[in-house]
Every structure is written in structure tokens, then in C-alpha cells.
Structure 1
Amino acid sequence: MKKSRLVVFGISIVTVVVMMIFGSPWIAKNMRLGLDLQGGFEILYKITPLEGKTLPDMTAVAESINKRIDVLGVNEPEITVEGDDQIRVQLAGVKDADEARRIISTTANLTFRDINDNLLMDASVLEEGGATLGTDEYGRYLVNLKVKDTEKFYEATKKVAAMGTGSNLMVTWLDFDETKDSYAAESKTEKPNYVSAATVKEGLNSNTVQISGNFTKEEATELKDLINSGSLPVKMSEEYTNAVTADYGMNAFESTMMAGAVGVIAIMLFMILYYQLPGIISAITIAVYVFVVFLIYNLMGGVFTLSGIAALVLGVGMAADSNILTFERIRDGLYSGRSVKTAFYEGTSKSFITIFDAQFTTFISALILYLLGTGSVKGFATMLIVSTISTLLLIVFVAKFFLKMLVDSGCLDGKLKLFGVKETRVPDVNKGEERFYYGKFAKFDFVGKARYFITVTISVLVIGIGFMAFNGFNGNEALNLGIDFTSGTKITVVSDDAINASTLKDQLKDLGINTKSIKINGKGDTTATVFVKEAIETEKMDSVKASLKDIYHHDVNDNTVTPIIGRQLVKNAFLISILAWIGIMIYISFRFKWDYAISGIVALIHDLLVMIAFCAILRLEMNTEIIAVLLTIIGYSINNSIVVFDRIRDNVKANKHEVITKERYKEIVNDALQKTATRSILSTLTTMMPVITLLLMGSNAINTFCLMLFIGLFFGAGSSLFIAAQLWYQIRIHHKPKKHTKKKRKKEDIEEMIIPGMNDY
């Protein structure tokens, strides 16, 4: 026994544990939570130039917006330029979303006018960034301004002074609107729109001037900051909004993190119980995996969102799947009579390329989602990319390293029970025995039984079409399209007591809101989600939210999508799906052959149609997050299919020197499925575990997301066994194969006989 290997193993485990213990507090402290986890808002602005001006560079506009956000004191805002005339702003943790929206979209165009609204001068006469907060002799707050063009300022004030008593007023405006603003009208109101109206008795030739107007300290500070931030030479209109209250966000964060933790622990326990020692190694590497993914995400400045955490938990399941692939290959070797060392090296070698292919196809889907997705979809894709890369680097190599140290030490020699293998099922190669145990599916006819799964699938599709037709004929939408695709407004109301849908509908009707539908959910029916067909304007939405807060005593969340953005999202969703299919098809054709690619894509289309059918049957809301689920299932399902294809290809290669008959093709497919079925079921189970805990314990905001994941995982696993492989079989038996000339088998083609003590390393 090589004790040095055990020492290295022990030191490595201790090092990893210490690293996680001391690193975890830093990770927890530096996590950047998205607006759906700590409250805040997301707005997509349409940028148009002011009348008579050209549209400036979007980067300059984004910088101006960033200066406005500095006024709010919000850390690390997300400001993204999209296209030629759109800017997306995400502010997490902002306390007053309405105030923030007002300040960001304010043009802050400072002008000085006479009582007849004639322009005298604008902010160009002032020094940039020269506004300061001050007080007069009575302690009243005012704003001091530094004058840059003193000559122009003197001429303007001299002109006002000459207008005579009562008319010699210089009116200071912020964002004067010629279509509706006037001094004559505003001077009669209790709270006029202009900033101040100062009496000018003579021309002022000074380097400093003051703006006063019975300001509070907060009002004077805001005015000072807006002037210093500079004016925005554009008009900003909201095309998409999503506001989340802090309480709602933190509740979602706590419940989702708890559900995710329970799901990950469930996977660890399952791996330990089923695989014994390798399962313990798997549990350790999964813990390292979660730690490293959080660490990488923090270091790259990633923002944790609900969908991002869901992607992480899903990634844990897929990471466990990589271990399952390796461990099942090792078990194959042990059941064939190999020694522990031989089985380990063969298993890790054969499983790597399959793991790489499976993870790479998921990476393709995630990358396309990231490049074309927006908002929460982009966050989901980012986490999925980090997860797939971490799986290849950590789960594969770290797990292999730990297990290799134990195997090479010799302490596992002959101890098959530690791998969950019963010695009674292992042949004695010394007596010339061959493998006789091939798992629980050894005699199962997958090709023959495929019709039952296909029948279930067809039934689901027919029922789904029936529901879509029924809803369509009754004046409803065939599918329950969310506001992401149809445009409109979604309002979330939270209460301490149960909410009555009809009462809420009447309350909204009194406020001028005609609801499309109201869904009551949450523990004790304390949360209501209201859907409105129209995209409610900001001012009206603010009034509605204030009224609902007075009634239910909680801040109200709102999400608004304009028709233009709705059409863009539909276009992007279609484009994302097509590109994902093309990317996966090209890769599989390159790694395998065209018939494998066709079979895999048809299986993916099957998964997509089944999920859409369930959306129709259950009337689930179709939104951008559902697109993320579809893309995830595309990656996951093709992952399963690739594992099957890999075994089929091995079997085909074993018969490459002869013409394969129809019956032989059936045997090849059945053999491949019999050897991979256990792995497919186990990997699906481990991936489903965290999804189920998220569904049962996580935030209501991702319930539909998790339910669709669950459905997609189930039918995705089924399609890899009963659709992809069966279609490949049908293509092969109907596609005339090339004739092979009989060749004399080369020496290297002959399978090596394992002789204990000689070539059993």
C-alpha cells in the first residue's frame, strides 16, 4: 500500500475544507443581489432626441444617466446600451423606485426666462459642476451657482430689470415644456412647476448667483445634484418596467436559497447512499463546485437573481450527472471482472469525452441565451455558462484526482463493496467466466416498448391542441401569453390578510384599470398577481400603486411592457431557439454523423412541443423565463441523447467489419439503451431533486419556471431513450448502408484478454 497517496488525499481534503470555511463568509458578504432578490427596478428606455436636435452617442447618454444614479447613492448600477436607441437600467436595492425613476428620466435642462416665458439664457452660462448647497441669513436652504459667462448673465438680468415693477421677474425652470408650461398659469398654483421666480432690480455682474424658493434640505440637495449632473439632450420614454419591493425581494431570496440548499444536500445524500465511497467523493466535489461557482460569480461581478440561483441548482444536478457517468463506467469494468485500478482508469477515460460532449451542447444553448437574451434570462444564462465550465474543470478532474489517490494507494484493491458492487455479480476471470450481470434493464426491449412512450406523448400533444382550440373558440388566447410577448402590465399586490379577487378587481376598476385576469397565490392567499392588457403609463401607475398601498399596507410591484418590446421579445425567442438547434446540430454532425444529429433535433422538437402542450393544458404563463427553460431543456435533453449515441457508436464500431442487418441494429440500440438507462434515470433524478425543492419551498416568482423544468426534465429523459435512439434506428434500417469489403482483422482490433497479475494494472 502506498501511504503517500493517502497522505496527499488527506491533505487535499483538509485544504479544500479550510478554503471553503474561510472563503464562504467573504462570498456571502460580497454577493451582489439582483432586484428580484433585494428589491429595486429595471427599466428599458427608448431614447429620442429633443425637438430640433440630433440623437447623441448612446455611450454619452449612458454616462449622463450614471451621473443621475450617483445622485441616488445606489451602488453598482447596471446600465446597458441595447441597439441604437435603447438603454436598460437596473437598480437593485433602491429604496424609493418612483423617486429614482423620476430623477433618472429628468432632462434637467435648466433655463432662465421672463414672465412671458421668453428664453433669456440656459445652463451654458454656468460653470459645470459648480452648484453647491447653501443657506441664507434666516437658515433657509438655497442653491449657489457659479457664473461662467458673466457678460451674458449681466445683459439678461439687465433686460429683466428694465421690465418694471411686477414684471421684473427672472423665472428659473427645470425641463420647461413649451406645450404646457407657462409662468402665468403656474404662478396661480400652490406648487408651481418652476423652480423659483426672483425679482431683478438691476443687471447682475457677479461670479455667483443664488436660487431660492422655500426649499427643504432634501429638495435643495436634489436640485443641486441634478444641475451638477448636467442636462440630458434627449427624451426618455419607458418601454419596459419591472419594479420589485424590498420585502418581496428578500422573502424570495431567503426561500429560494433554503430550497436550493435542501436540494443540493438531497443530491449529496443520494450519491453517498447509492455509490458508497465514490458517492462521498462526489459529495465533496459538489460542495467544492458550489463554493467555486459562487466565488467565480462574485469575482466577475455577477448579479445573483432568482433565475440565476435556479440555474446554479440545476447545474449541481448536471454536475452530479457527470459523476454518475464516470461511476457507472467504473462499475461496468468491475462487473466485467476488472480490478479496481483497471476499472477506474478505463471508466474515467471512456466517460470524459461523453461528459465533454454533453456539457458543450449545454454551453452552446447557454451562450446563445446570453448573447441574445436580456434581463433575468441573461442572468440565468451567465450562471449556466459558469456552471458548465466549472463542471468540466472541477467535477471531472477534482473527483478523478481524489479517487485516483485512493485507488493508486492500493487501499481499495478487491473492496468492491465500497463501490456499491455486489461480489456475487462479478465473474471470476481466473476460471474463465465472462460478465453475466448487465444491470436491471438487461433484458428490457426499449425498441419494442418505445411505442408506449410515443403514445403518451401523442396523447399529451392532442390534449394540448384540444385545450388551445377550446380557448381560442371561446375568445381566449390559445396560449396564456405573458406580457413579455403581448405587452401590457403585471401588478403584484401583497397583503397581511387573504386577498379577495373580485374585491381587488372592483378596487382597480374604480382606479380606472380594467383587469384581464387576477391570480391569487402565496401562503394564506396573501399575494395577488393582476394582468392588464394595456401598458399603463408611469404617472397613472404611480397613482394606482399609491392607492393600493393605502388599502393593503404594502408596497406594490409592477411590470410593464410596451407593444414594441413585446414584438422584439417574440422575435428574439424564435431566433434563440433556431440558433440553438442549428448550433447543436452542427456540433453533433461533427462529433458523430448526420443521422445522429437529425435524431437528436427531432427529440428536441418533441420536448419543445410537449412543454408547450403542458403550458396550454395548465394555462401557464408563457414569458421570457419559459424561453430560458426551453433552452435549458434543449441542452439537457441533447446531453442525455449524446450519452446514448456514444454507446450506440461504440457498438456500431464493434461491428464495422460486417454488413449490419435490421435485427442487428435493433440489438445495437437495445444494448446501448440497456447500458445507459440506469444512468439516464439517476441523472434525471438528481437533477429533479433540487427542482422539486425549489418548486415546493422556493419563491412563488419561479414556480412556473420550476414546474416547466420538472416537466421538461422528465420528457427530455424519455425522448433520449424512446425518441432519439428509435429514430436513429429507423433511419439506419431504411438508409442503405455502404458495402464493406471483408478485411482481415488487424492485431490491434482484437480485444485484449485480461490476465490477472500480468496486464491487469
Structure 2
Amino acid sequence: MKNTKKGILQLLFIVVVIGALSTVALVGVGKNKIGSAKKIKLGLDLAGGVSITYQTQKSNPTDTEMKDTIYKMQKRVENYSTESEVYQEGSDRINIDIPGEDDADAVLTALGKAGSISFVDPDGKEVINGKHVKTATAQTINENGMKQYIVSLTLNSKGAKLFGEATTRLAPNRESISIVYDGKTISSPAVQTAILDGKCQIDGQKSFEEADELASTIRIGALPIELKEIRSNVVGAKLGSEAMSKSLLAGAIGFVLVLIFMVTVYRIPGLAASIALCLYIALELVLLQLLEVTLTLPGVAGIILGIGMAVDANVIIFTRIKEELAKGKTVKSAIKVGFNKALSAIVDGNVTTLIAAGVLYFKGSGTVKGFATTLAIGILLSMFTALTITKYVLKAFYALGADDVKYFGTARESKVINYTGNMKKYLAISGCLILLGFAAMGYNGAKGNEILNYGLDFKGGTSSQVPMKDKITSDVKKDVEKAYAKIIGYTPSISEVRGQNAFIIKTQTLKKDKREEVQQMLVKDFGVDKSKITTESISGSVSDEMKQDAVIAVVISTICMLLYIWIRFKDINFGASAVLALLHDVLVVLMVYAVARISVDSTFIACMLTIVGYSINATIVIFDRIRENISERMTEERLAEVVNRSISQTFSRSINTSLTTFIMVFVLYIFGVDSLKDFALPLMAGIICGGYSSICITGTLWYTFKRKFGKLATK
């Protein structure tokens, strides 16, 4: 029996919620505009920020000292923003770029002065120094009902031994150990007991802010070499002022096209999904601001993947509903059963990707953390909107009279294709693509080039500060980019130094003739005073340690995903097949980078991580259907039949999900600036490859493993 009034109220409620959240996302709440999308922190690539340059006090620091200092500074500034960049400039300078800030003095105050620190006994003898300190954090504790503000210190093994010996000697008379920073005593806590485990507390701070300042001072002084701040600037967006506006335009167009596709293909369910996706977008924008996430291009990749997974969850549900309607069930029954049957695939797919996001966040650094944050938010929201909001809206439409099969459509009988029989053909195609990638890398190396086109983020280059004669405008910046590109063959990274009418232009290391040609161009075409151009060599912002962190994070997340799939599907062959399919997709995308000579920079990491998340989610859907169709006693022939039928049943889902995600990225490619195109092109290749591998590779791999290593019935 229809309940029109109830249906109207349900839809009205959702519309009001979407409207309220959209209003919050547009204008925010209160004087501070809490929740406003305009208040979302943007990274260096999209909005610029503060650039600080430090010089070492030591005249000739070693490479090891510089690398250790850069890595520790990277970890330190991540407390300020996960998207901060730290890299070497020249032989004795370290540059820190912190996004979304426009007050260099405030940032310097928050980071603290990078001097040297030591802990000395009453006789002035050094007990330990900064190199012995692992962590220093401010904490609030309750003791006898009273709040106390302390600094909690953790020392390394050598520091713990030295500190233990000193505190054992000083504790009987409660003598003090003074903390001396840059020659000044900043605290002199009394030693109350011998400290042997390398963990201690400094009490006596009057407020949490005072404790936090002391902790910051200890951390900044715990660097391998002493640093001195020599300059600070506010710089513009690395990708240019148009990057953000074009990204938003591309996102809006892509999203609208996805909604049109959903309504056209899935009718009333597609409309319900479109409403749920609007709520998804509004919620995501509000949460990004509330959680103070710094949004960069890799973060945008995480959002795109999240939207793709949100669409995918709805597609899985609607496919199940159509199948139930084809069996003759009523619309009400089909909706209920469809959601129930889709639940396991949605949960397993999203939880598997969420595991990867969690590991990437806790083990990764820099842009990897930013990607993991937006991906995790997207996963949680996609499950909520698909399983709750879409269902709620569908029931509202049903109450309004959408109870006829014609509003939903029915699943056609799937034509079963012999995927297992064509397995060798599929593997041959994949093998050729992967070999093409290795051949391209070999060819590049043989020609004297690097096997991949490593960009500034990976191998560094030169940074030039160029004072401009004419007032800097977006047109002037475009003209400089085009002039540089004609000479060096690619568009350099150009940021405006605000308040100085100057550009910071970063390129790969140029040969002498190219450097001279560039300088002549700047003098002739733009009236630049050649004597005022300053140039320094810079290291890659993605350090060896950050690369190592990223690799370790991917390896750990892959192992965790394998274990989860093994436990959930009760068959290690599923996990092994998923990991191999994932590796296949990554190698094919690597081939695109090698053949097209696309710049390998920080977006490369984001692209690869996106492919990993997309690939594993697509694979889970196939495996879920195989798990449903399989029986206890399986012969080899029956096993092949189950695999072929399962892949055929999920074929439309694989195509439709790939298509909707591809649309989002394709529009980004069409409307984006050059740097966005370099990001979108391999991502499109990865989406196509992910669709191909989920249909042709994963199921057949599992079939091969099961046939060779599993227990099958003889007849």
C-alpha cells in the first residue's frame, strides 16, 4: 500500500539535509565560517604558502648530515601540515615550503628557531644533546585532581644510557639538569629519581602553550646539525592560479555527467544514487574543512577514487536489484534482497581499501598522507551514502508510487564468455604491455637518458629567483612558462614571490648553453636585470627516506590486504590472485610513464596509489560473486564454469564503474592545466587497465591457482 505522504516527507528531509550541508559548504557557520569549502587548506601546488630557507652553521656538512636533517625536518613540519616539503638548496641550505600560509613570521614562531640544544649537569658538563632525543611532546596530566602541563621526552638507546647514568648520580640530592638552547638556559628541572628507560617528564610549565613551546624548542634543537634562518617568502601556487579553478570546473562537469549516466542507465535507482552522491559531495567538503585536511593534487586523486567507489557501491546494489526482479520478485522484495546480497562485496571492497589507506597514513609521509586521508574519508562516506542514504531515498520513491518494474529495469540473461579458455590470450596481451614498458625503459637508458622521466620532486634541479621588470600578472606568468618551454622542452614550476614582484622558477638541472639561453630570453623578452637573478641547486622534495617510507607502506598494506582477503574468503588463492592483479595494473601504468615520458613527480605516487585502491576494489567484486556461486565439491570443468559465469554476471558492473570513474578523470584531462594532464593521462590508463584486469585477469588467475594448488573433486 502506497504511503505518499511518508514518501514526500522522506524526500523533503533529504533535500533539506543536502541543502543545509551545501549551505555550510558554501558559506560556513558562524564568524569563523566553520565547514566552508573556501576555508579548506590548499597545498603548495594549488594555493602556495610560506617558503623558509635555513643555512647550516657548520661550514661543510656531510651528505649524511644533510639527508638526516632534511628527513627530521620533514617529520617535524608534518605536525604543521602533512603536505609540507623539505629539500636541499645548494650544499649547505635547507628549504621548507609550508602550504596554505601567508604569514612567514607566524610560521617561524610556530616552528621555533633551529638552534642547538644540550642537557647539562650542575657542573656544566653535557649529559646528552639533541641527537639523543627521539621525541618531545606537550601533554596535560591530572595529579591529585590538579592539571599539570608537562613535556614528555623519549631518548634513543645511547641517550637513555647516558641519561640514566647522570640521573642516578644526581637524584639523591635532587640536583638539576639544565636544558640549554643556543647558549641560553630555558629550563632547569630537578632530578627526582633515576631515569633508566629513556623516558622522562619535564614539569613546572604554567600552561599547555608553554609546554608546547618547550617541546617545540627541544624538537627543533634535536637536529643533526645546527641551522640558521636566512630568508622567508610567501610564494604562489606551483601549478598556477588557474589550476584550482580548472580543477573545480572539471570536477563539476564530470560529476554532472556521472549523474546523467546513472539516471539514464539505472532509472529511479540511478536518481536515488544521484541524490545520495550530492549528499556525499556536500559531506566530504564539510569534513575536509572540519578535519583541517590540506588538499593537494594527490588529495584530489583520493577524492576522485572515493567518488568512483561511491558510484561502484550503488552499481553493485542496482545490479543485484535487477537480478532479483528478473527472477520475478516484487520491487519491494528485490530492493531488500538486492541490498543484502550487495553488502558483502561493498564491505569487503571498501574495508580492503581502507586498510591500505590506514597503513599509508601511518607509515607514509608528505603527499602519501594527504592521499590516504582523503581516500579514507571518501571510503567511509561512500559506504554510508550507498548503504543508508540510497536505500532511504529508494524507499521514499517506492512510497510515492515507483513500485513498477519499468522504473527499475531487469537484468538480461548474461551471455557466459569462456574467460578461462582464453586465459593464455589475456596473459599474452598483459605480458606484451609489461614487456613494452621494460623495453621503453631500456631504450631510454641506452640513449643516455634516465629510464623514467624523473621530475624535480624526485631528482631535484635548479631554483632561480627572477625579479621581474613589469608587474606580475597571470598573463605574464603564462608568457614566461611558454618562453621557458620553448627552450627547455617542458613547462617549469613557477611560483610568485608575493610582495617582491619576483618569480621562483624551478627546472631540472640545465646544461650551460641552456642556462645562458634562458637568461638571454629573460633579459631580452622581459627586461630582467641579469645581475639580480640568483640560482641555486636544489634536491628533490621526495627524499630517499620518503621514497622508502612509501615503498614500505605499500608493501605492508599489500600484505594486510592479502591477509584480510585470505581470512574473509577462506582461501589464500584469492589473496594471491588479487596481489598479482594489483602488480599487473601498476606495471602497465609504469609502461605508460616510460613510453610517453610523462614526468615522474609527487603526483606519480598519488597515481600509483590510486591504481592500487581501484584495482583491489574491482577485484573484490569478482571474487565475491565467485564465492557466492561456488559449491563444496567442484570438478575442474565445474570450476571453470563458475568462474566464467561469475565474471559474466559482474561484467556490466565492471564496465559501468570503470566508465563513470573514467569520465571524471577524462574531463580533468580535457579542462586541466598541463600538470593536471600529466596526472590524468596515466590515471585514465590505470582505470582502463583496472577494468581489463578485473574482467580478464583476476578470475582466471584464481582459477589457475585453484586448479593447481586447490583440492578438486575427480567427478
SS at match of 1:446: coil
Equivalences for 1:348-427 in 2 at 5 Å? 348-407=339-398, 409=399, 411-413=401-403, 415-421=404-410
> Any idea what the Cα deviations from partners look like across 1:307-333, whole Å, max 9, x if unmatched?
323322332122111100101000010
The letter for the 2-side match of 1:703 is: K
CA contact (8 A) 1:78 1:90 kept: no
Write the distance in 1 (CA, Å) between the matches of 2:18 and 2:547.
Answer: 46
- Please, which moves more after superposition, 396-405 or 481-490? 481-490
From 505, 508, 511, the equivalent of 1:532 is: 508
Write the distance in 2 (CA, Å) between the matches of 1:89 and 1:254.
Answer: 22
Q: Which residue of 2 aligns with 1:438?
A: 413
CA contact (8 A) 1:501 1:519 kept: no
**Following TM superposition, by how much is the alpha carbon of 1:303 offset from its aligned partner in structure 2, in angstroms?**
2.1
Q: Does 1:278 align with 2:269?
A: yes
From 521, 544, 554, the equivalent of 1:577 is: 554
Write the distance in 2 (CA, Å) between the matches of 1:289 and 1:283.
Answer: 10
Write the distance in 1 (CA, Å) between the matches of 2:479 and 2:381.
Answer: 45
The letter for the 2-side match of 1:28 is: A
Write the distance in 1 (CA, Å) between the matches of 2:353 and 2:56.
Answer: 36
The letter for the 2-side match of 1:636 is: Y
Q: Which residue of 1 aligns with 2:39?
A: 30
Write the distance in 2 (CA, Å) between the matches of 1:660 and 1:107.
Answer: 68
The letter for the 2-side match of 1:420 is: G
Q: Which residue of 1 aligns with 2:303?
A: 312
Equivalences for 1:713-732 in 2 at 5 Å? 713-732=687-706
Write the distance in 1 (CA, Å) between the matches of 2:537 and 2:109.
Answer: 16
**Following TM superposition, by how much is the alpha carbon of 1:374 offset from its aligned partner in structure 2, in angstroms?**
3.1
**Following TM superposition, by how much is the alpha carbon of 1:277 offset from its aligned partner in structure 2, in angstroms?**
0.7
From 663, 667, 688, the equivalent of 2:662 is: 688
Q: Which residue of 1 aligns with 2:683?
A: 709
Write the distance in 1 (CA, Å) between the matches of 2:492 and 2:59.
Answer: 44
CA contact (8 A) 1:329 1:351 kept: yes
- Aligned-residue sequence identity (percent) comes to 29
Q: Does 1:340 align with 2:331?
A: yes
Query: Structure 2 vs 1, CA of residues 6 and 535 (structure 1 numbering), >3 Å: closer, same or farther?
Result: farther
Query: Structure 2 vs 1, CA of residues 346 and 728 (structure 1 numbering), >3 Å: closer, same or farther?
Result: same
Query: Structure 2 vs 1, CA of residues 12 and 545 (structure 1 numbering), >3 Å: closer, same or farther?
Result: farther
Equivalences for 1:222-261 in 2 at 5 Å? 235-236=226-227, 245-246=236-237, 249-261=240-252
Write the distance in 2 (CA, Å) between the matches of 1:403 and 1:549.
Answer: 62
Q: Which residue of 2 aligns with 1:263?
A: 254
Q: Which residue of 1 aligns with 2:320?
A: 329
The letter for the 2-side match of 1:32 is: K
Write the distance in 1 (CA, Å) between the matches of 2:98 and 2:282.
Answer: 27
Q: Which residue of 2 aligns with 1:296?
A: 287
> Any idea what the Cα deviations from partners look like across 1:365-389, whole Å, max 9, x if unmatched?
2223322333333222211111111
Q: Which residue of 2 aligns with 1:631?
A: 609
Q: Which residue of 2 aligns with 1:670?
A: 644
**Following TM superposition, by how much is the alpha carbon of 1:558 offset from its aligned partner in structure 2, in angstroms?**
10
Q: Which residue of 2 aligns with 1:480?
A: 453
Write the distance in 1 (CA, Å) between the matches of 2:534 and 2:101.
Answer: 14
**Following TM superposition, by how much is the alpha carbon of 1:568 offset from its aligned partner in structure 2, in angstroms?**
1.8
Write the distance in 1 (CA, Å) between the matches of 2:567 and 2:357.
Answer: 20
Write the distance in 1 (CA, Å) between the matches of 2:291 and 2:394.
Answer: 31
> Any idea what the Cα deviations from partners look like across 1:444-489, whole Å, max 9, x if unmatched?
2222334443333222222222221222112111122233333434
Write the distance in 1 (CA, Å) between the matches of 2:460 and 2:648.
Answer: 48
Query: Structure 2 vs 1, CA of residues 243 and 325 (structure 1 numbering), >3 Å: closer, same or farther?
Result: farther
CA contact (8 A) 2:51 2:95 kept: no
Write the distance in 2 (CA, Å) between the matches of 1:104 and 1:736.
Answer: 58
CA contact (8 A) 2:8 2:400 kept: no
CA contact (8 A) 2:634 2:712 kept: no
The letter for the 1-side match of 2:642 is: I
**Following TM superposition, by how much is the alpha carbon of 1:360 offset from its aligned partner in structure 2, in angstroms?**
1.4
**Following TM superposition, by how much is the alpha carbon of 1:544 offset from its aligned partner in structure 2, in angstroms?**
12
Query: Structure 2 vs 1, CA of residues 491 and 319 (structure 1 numbering), >3 Å: closer, same or farther?
Result: farther
SS at match of 1:438: coil
Q: Does 1:92 align with 2:100?
A: yes
Write the distance in 1 (CA, Å) between the matches of 2:7 and 2:307.
Answer: 28
CA contact (8 A) 2:11 2:396 kept: no
Write the distance in 2 (CA, Å) between the matches of 1:680 and 1:561.
Answer: 44
Q: Does 1:519 align with 2:490?
A: yes
Query: Structure 2 vs 1, CA of residues 308 and 472 (structure 1 numbering), >3 Å: closer, same or farther?
Result: same
SS at match of 1:444: coil
- Please, which moves more after superposition, 297-306 or 241-250? 241-250
Q: Which residue of 1 aligns with 2:597?
A: 619
CA contact (8 A) 1:472 1:478 kept: yes
SS at match of 1:276: helix
Q: Which residue of 1 aligns with 2:17?
A: 16
**Following TM superposition, by how much is the alpha carbon of 1:534 offset from its aligned partner in structure 2, in angstroms?**
8.6
Write the distance in 1 (CA, Å) between the matches of 2:56 and 2:417.
Answer: 62
SS at match of 1:519: coil
**Following TM superposition, by how much is the alpha carbon of 1:648 offset from its aligned partner in structure 2, in angstroms?**
0.5
SS at match of 2:598: coil
Write the distance in 2 (CA, Å) between the matches of 1:686 and 1:722.
Answer: 20
Q: Does 1:606 align with 2:577?
A: no
Query: Structure 2 vs 1, CA of residues 50 and 462 (structure 1 numbering), >3 Å: closer, same or farther?
Result: closer
Query: Structure 2 vs 1, CA of residues 610 and 15 (structure 1 numbering), >3 Å: closer, same or farther?
Result: same
SS at match of 1:90: strand
CA contact (8 A) 1:467 1:616 kept: yes
Using structure 2 for the length normalisation, give the TM-score: 0.68
**Following TM superposition, by how much is the alpha carbon of 1:667 offset from its aligned partner in structure 2, in angstroms?**
0.5
SS at match of 2:226: strand
Query: Structure 2 vs 1, CA of residues 632 and 342 (structure 1 numbering), >3 Å: closer, same or farther?
Result: same
> Any idea what the Cα deviations from partners look like across 1:284-341, whole Å, max 9, x if unmatched?
1111000001111111112222332332233212211110010100001011111111
Larger Rg: 1
Write the distance in 1 (CA, Å) between the matches of 2:520 and 2:565.
Answer: 53
The letter for the 2-side match of 1:699 is: V
Query: Structure 2 vs 1, CA of residues 78 and 686 (structure 1 numbering), >3 Å: closer, same or farther?
Result: closer
CA contact (8 A) 1:691 1:710 kept: yes
Write the distance in 2 (CA, Å) between the matches of 1:276 and 1:559.
Answer: 59
Query: Structure 2 vs 1, CA of residues 614 and 668 (structure 1 numbering), >3 Å: closer, same or farther?
Result: same
